[in-house]
Amino acid sequence: MYIVHVFVHVKDEHIEAFRAASIENARNSVKEPGVARFDVIQQQGDPARFVLVEVYRTADDPAAHKETAHYKTWRETVAEMMAEPRSAVKYTEVFPGEPGWECRL
Residue 105 lies in a domain: no
Question: Does any domain span residue 54?
Answer: yes
Q: Which residues contact 67 (CB under 8 A, 6 or more apart)?
A: none
C-alpha triplet 43, 89, 79: angle, nearest 5°: 65
**103 in any annotated domain:** no
Q: pLDDT digits over 1-29, tens only?
A: 899 999 999 999 999 999 999 999 999 99
Q: Quick one: pLDDT at residue 95?
A: 79
The total number of structural domains in the chain stands at 1
Q: What is the CATH number of the domain that holds 48?
A: 3.30.70.100
In a domain, 97, yes or no: no
Q: Could you read off the pLDDT of 40-78 as tens digits, one per residue?
A: 999 999 999 999 999 999 999 999 999 999 999 999 999
pLDDT of residue 100 exceeding 70, the answer is no
Structural domain including 24 reads: 2-92
Can you give 52-99 as a three-state secondary structure string? EEEEECCCCHHHHHCCCHHHHHHHHHHHHHECCCCEEEEEECCCCCCC
Would you say residue 101 lies in a domain?
Answer: no
Residue 87, in any domain of the structure? yes
